[in-house]
């Protein structure tokens, strides 16, 4: 398996993937035109033809038979072209010392504080490929890419995780809040959002802070709660150092998790090593390895052994990376130390 930039020839496979993902996957709508547009845009991004504000690094996960089985993305920056909105869950204290009254009321503050940060998004892995290291490779490849090309990204990476919704895709948070200002159901708004109208929709939202005690109990209960489907993604990113600091999506209240780029485990622990072809023994840990290229980026996960400044990998791994012995790679163990200990 390798992760590489998307190409226009991937379009049919991508369309099939997105159809499997279903309507909840709003950032990659199952429309051929829109997908083609996004793929072309990604190609221009990898060719360094677009500004950071517009950069969209769309990757695919490809097996050794050149079949595309997964997709993930990383943007240059959010909010530099049109405003990027989140709520921050803050606090209002209503207190009267004389009367002995003290109430703490979580309050939602609309903000654009994530402006200029880079977003990881649009991750989907084909159902039959959800095993082994595939999910982790598809997700962490973006982080390793950002480690190599840190100058192309913001100070932080963020991820908006899908919020709680019922089986029909209805969001209790939306029903209690957004619906009143848009007069449309969540799926419609979500659809518009995926079409790039999110900031237009956000402009309809009230600017003033909102007391959560005035939301329905169901809505209050899902603030900052990720959809169960996003649990695996959340787990991977949490292990990388992503945390939830109270920012949420303005539509479904899903958590926005964030991490300073330089503090992300994959970024912090990755190192430039020289590639050596050999035979890593059976006990060798799996490493995430990047060929350090931008337009011809290839990232894989493979057993490897570090000796000094060298990384010993087998011949197939080098071939997947399209590298020769002696080439430089950026690499990091796929699992953090705790995970390695747990796996051992």
Partner 1 sequence: MLVLRPVELTDLPQLQRLAQESLVGVTSLPDDTERLRERILDSCASFDKNVQQHGPENYFFVLEDLTTRRLAGCSEILATAGFGEPFYSLRNRHFTSASRELNIEHGVPALSLCHDLSGHTLLRGFHIDAALVRTPSSELLSRARLMFIAAHLPRFAEAVITEIVGFSDEEGRSPFWDALGKHFFDLPYTEAERLCGLESRTFLAELMPQYPIYVPMLPQTARDCIGRIHPDGQEAFDILEREGFETNSYIDLFDGGPTLYARLANIRTIAQSQNGTATPGSTIDARGRYLVSNDSLRNYRAIVADLDYTAGQPVVLSAEMCEALNVTDGSPIRVIAL
Q: Which residues have a catalytic role annotated?
A: 227
Cα of 202 vs its chain's centroid, Å: 21
Quick check: 76 and 65 in contact, CB under 8 A?
no
Quick one: 57 or 173, whose CB is closer to partner 1? 173
Phi, psi angle pair for 215, to nearest 5°: -85, 160
3-class SS of residue 23:
coil
Binding site for partner 1 (CB under 8 A): 92, 94-96, 98-99, 101-103, 105, 107, 176-177, 180-183, 192, 197, 200-201, 203-206, 208-211, 213-215
CB of 196: closest distance to partner 1 in angstroms? 10
Tokens 């009267």 locate to 96
Instruction: List Cα–Cα distances, 228 to 78, 125, 161, 163, in angstroms.
Output: 25, 16, 10, 9
CB 170 within 8 A of CB 185: yes
Nearest distance, CB of residue 105 and partner 1, angstroms: 7
Nearest to 23 by CA among 183, 195, 177: 195
Residue 41 or 182: the one with the smaller Cβ distance to partner 1 is 182
Residues 6+ apart with CB under 8 A from 118: 74, 75, 76, 77, 78, 146, 153, 154, 156, 157, 158, 261
Nearer to partner 1, 182 or 314 (CB): 182
The CB-of-240 to partner 1 minimum distance in angstroms stands at 36
Shortest reach from residue 208's CB to partner 1, in Å: 5
Select from 31, 73, 29 the least CA-distant residue to 55.
Answer: 73
Contact present, 275 and 326 (Cβ < 8 Å): yes
> Nearer to partner 1 by C-beta: 83 or 278?
83
Q: Which is nearer to partner 1, 214 or 316 (CB)?
A: 214
User: In angstroms, what is the minimal distance from the CB of 110 to partner 1?
Assistant: 11
Q: Of 59, 328, 34, 333, nearest to 197 (Cα)?
A: 34
- 13 to 7, 45, 66, 108, 123: CA distances (angstroms): 11, 21, 11, 41, 15
- Considering the complex, what minimum distance in angstroms separates the CB of residue 200 from partner 1? 4
Q: Which is nearer to partner 1, 108 or 234 (CB)?
A: 108
């Amino acid at each position: 398996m390798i992760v590489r930039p998307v190409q226009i020839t991937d379009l049919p496979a991508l369309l099939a993937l997105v159809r499997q993902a279903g309507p909840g996957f709003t950032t990659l709508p199952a429309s051929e035109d829109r997908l083609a547009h996004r793929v072309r845009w990604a190609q221009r991004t990898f060719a360094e033809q677009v500004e950071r504000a517009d950069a969209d690094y769309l990757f695919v996960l490809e097996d050794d038979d050149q079949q595309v089985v997964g997709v993930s993305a990383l943007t240059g920056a959010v909010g530099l072209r049109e405003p990027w909105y989140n709520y921050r869950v803050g606090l209002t204290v209503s207190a009267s010392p004389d009367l002995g009254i003290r109430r703490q009321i979580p309050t939602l503050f609309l903000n654009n504080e994530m402006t200029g940060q880079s977003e990881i998004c649009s991750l989907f892995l084909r159902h039959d490929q959800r095993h082994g290291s595939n999910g982790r490779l598809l997700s962490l490849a973006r982080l390793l890419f950002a480690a190599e090309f840190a100058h192309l990204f913001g100070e932080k990476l963020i991820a908006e995780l899908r919020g709680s919704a019922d089986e029909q895709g209805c969001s209790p948070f939306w029903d209690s809040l957004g619906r009143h200002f848009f007069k449309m159901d969540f799926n419609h708004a979500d659809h518009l959002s995926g079409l790039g109208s999110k900031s237009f929709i956000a402009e309809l939202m009230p600017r003033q802070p909102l007391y959560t005690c005035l939301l329905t109990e169901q809505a209050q209960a899902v603030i900052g709660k990720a959809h169960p489907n996003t649990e695996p993604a959340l787990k991977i990113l949490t292990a990388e150092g992503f945390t939830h600091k109270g920012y949420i999506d303005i539509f479904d209240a899903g958590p926005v998790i964030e991490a300073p780029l330089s503090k992300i485990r994959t970024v912090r622990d990755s190192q430039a090593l020289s590639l050596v072809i050999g035979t890593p023994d059976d006990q060798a840990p799996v490493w995430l390895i990047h060929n350090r290229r931008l337009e011809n980026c290839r990232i894989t996960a493979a057993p490897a052994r570090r000796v000094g400044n060298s990384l010993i990998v087998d011949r197939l791994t080098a071939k997947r990376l399209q590298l020769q012995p002696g080439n430089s790679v950026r690499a990091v163990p796929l699992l953090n130390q705790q995970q390695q200990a747990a796996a051992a």
